[in-house]
Amino acid sequence: MIVRPKENWLRLLFVWNGSVLQSIIPQLIFMGVISSLAVLTQGRIFGEKVPLNTAPFTLFGLALAIFLAFRNNASYERFQEARHLWGNLLNAARALTSQMLCYVPDSADRLATARILIASVYALKHQLRRTDPTPDLLRLLGRTRTEALQHTCYKPSVLLNELRRDFADLQCRASITDTKLWMLDAQINELGKTVGGCERIASTPIPFAYSVLLHRTVYAYCVLLPFGLVDSTELFTPLLCVFFAYTLIALEAIASEVAEPFSLAPNALALDAMTCNIERSILELCGCDIPDEIVPVRAYQLT
């Protein structure tokens, strides 16, 4: 994720990193070529004048704007829900660690339990991004336990199950009371709900038909627009059409990017930083040394 400090209005006009402009340049060049051809041919295709004017584009553009707004709202709701889930993950992890430190006797290996909790967070991050969790699991759990997890599909749930089993063993040995076990189990349930919520977002994309319809409609509008404007704007047609195309195509690109909050795209959630923050918080409660904070990449660092 790219984090950009607040810029003045002039510099914001020329922002490059963190915008979708660099990913839609080929489409804008294509629109420039189509618009230039419309000017050169005076709005004709194979010698026939295309009977278009600005009136239908006004009505069609309004409908397209409403559809784009719906698509962007749906995408941002997914992003916002994903961020709320990771906020809940931080709260539940802190609460579980605090309860463990206060209610579990010193004879238990509480630091090892905390590392299992941290490992479950890292396993969730890698599961959502479809990356290899092995280096993080080796660092937190050791080789034996990591190898035991290699053939499991849902590593976060397996690790949370280990936590629940460890607390249940303490209750069987009368090290903790039933009430304390219930309190600890409630936080594990909260962690499990968060894992399930993230899996739901990752495995349930916005219906493909919406994306196809919006994509086709945007490009059809942009391709036909020069032939409707050429009689009134003449030589300024390419400039205006590229600007309109930038607005519509960029909105579609932003919606597609934001709809996948767990991806590695510049505008996705900063999962590396959030995961590290949870680890730092848990280790600090345990009285251990904490790793350095991970700061999301700032735009000026990329220039």
Question: What 3-state DSSP class applies to 122?
Answer: helix
For residue 6, the model assigns a pLDDT of: 64
For residue 9, the model assigns a pLDDT of: 62
- SS in 3 state form for 153-181? CCHHHHHHHHHHHHHHHHHHCCCCCHHHH
- Per the DSSP assignment, residues forming a β-bridge with 48 are 45
How does 208-234 read in b/e, with b if 16+ C-beta sit within 10 Å?
Answer: eebbeebeebbbebbbbbbbbbbeebe
Torsion of CA 71, 266, 125, 181, to 10 degrees: -70
Strand residues in 40-164 grouped as ranges (E): 44-45, 48-49
Q: How far apart are CA 277 and CA 280, in angstroms?
A: 5
User: Number of helices (H) and strands (E), helices first, in the chain?
Assistant: 12, 4
For residue 293, the model assigns a pLDDT of: 86
Residue-wise pLDDT tens for the chain (303 aa)? 555 556 666 676 667 666 788 889 999 999 999 999 999 988 888 777 777 777 788 888 888 888 888 889 999 999 999 999 999 999 999 999 999 999 988 766 889 999 999 999 999 999 999 999 999 999 999 999 999 999 999 999 999 999 999 999 999 988 889 999 999 999 999 999 999 999 999 999 888 888 898 889 999 999 989 988 888 888 899 999 999 999 999 998 989 889 999 998 888 899 999 999 999 999 999 998 898 888 765 544 444
For residue 300, the model assigns a pLDDT of: 40
Query: How far from 45 is each of 42, 48, 56, 157, 237, CA to CA, in Å?
Result: 9, 5, 19, 60, 16
For residue 301, the model assigns a pLDDT of: 47
Amino acid in the structure at residue 289:
D
Closest CA to 163 of 225, 195, 220, 115: 115
What are 153's two structure tokens? Answer: 């599909």
Domain that holds residue 178: 2-302
Closest CA to 156 of 137, 180, 183, 181: 137
Domains in the chain, number: 1
Residue 183 parent element (H or E): helix 178-203
Query: How far from 213 is each of 124, 178, 197, 210, 217, CA to CA, in Å?
Result: 33, 56, 28, 5, 6
For residue 232, the model assigns a pLDDT of: 84
What are 199's two structure tokens? Answer: 């899996």
Closest CA to 113 of 178, 46, 187: 187
- Location of structure tokens 């463990």: 100
Q: How far apart are CA 230 and CA 53, in angstroms?
A: 9
For residue 3, the model assigns a pLDDT of: 55
